[in-house]
Amino acid sequence: MLTVFRLLSRLPLRLLHALGAAMGWAVFALSPTYRRRFREFAAQAGYPFADVRPAVGHIGRMVGELPRLWLGAMPAVEWDGADSMDRAYAQGRGVLLLTPHLGCFEIAAQAIAARQMAAHGPFTVLYRPARQAWLRELLSHARERAHMRAVPTNMDGVRQLIKALRRGEAIGLLPDQ
């Protein structure tokens, strides 16, 4: 599966989005459980299906771009507020970064590691290994990049996060952790 993802990571983003959108609609059409939950969650949020219908394809697009985010070349990233990190490092403090999960985390973590970590130590993030062996291997390659260190979502991992902060390094947390 790693080989397939590496090949997919080389495709143009437009093509990955098109394939992902088709995959999103295929899953919606073929999975009664997913379809039912999608509609229930939309209703709980107060939206009729007609208003959230485009989200079916967008969820697929997000999944479709993961090979590129996980294994492809780092995309260009611009952000505001990087000077806040510089000030924290200048004071010898660690930096805590909070980010949404899929997509945003992959881009933000890679960009931060590329920009800051060569000078300030690795970027340490909590990481829950996948249950499936093939996915565990894939995510290991995706998350263990230059200047990034993934630690387990257990007490040992939490201790490593605290130690990284005390050393003045950056750590990353996701909302589900």
**pLDDT score of 145 more than 80:** no
Over 90: is that where the pLDDT of 128 sits?
A: no
Q: The pTM is what? A: 0.72
pLDDT for res 157: 93
127: pLDDT strictly greater than 70: yes
Residue 145's CB is within 10 A of a number of other CB atoms, namely 18
Q: Which residues are CB-neighbours of 91 under 8 A, at least 6 positions away?
A: none
Return the percentage of the chain with pLDDT > 70, whole number.
97
Residue 70 has which token pair?
Answer: 């996980």
Mean pLDDT of the chain: 87
Between strands 148-152 and 123-127, the pairing is parallel
Is the backbone of residue 128 left (phi > 0), alpha (psi -120 to 50) or beta?
Answer: beta
CA–CA separation, 59 vs 30, rounded Å? 15
Question: What is the token pair recorded at 138?
Answer: 């894939």
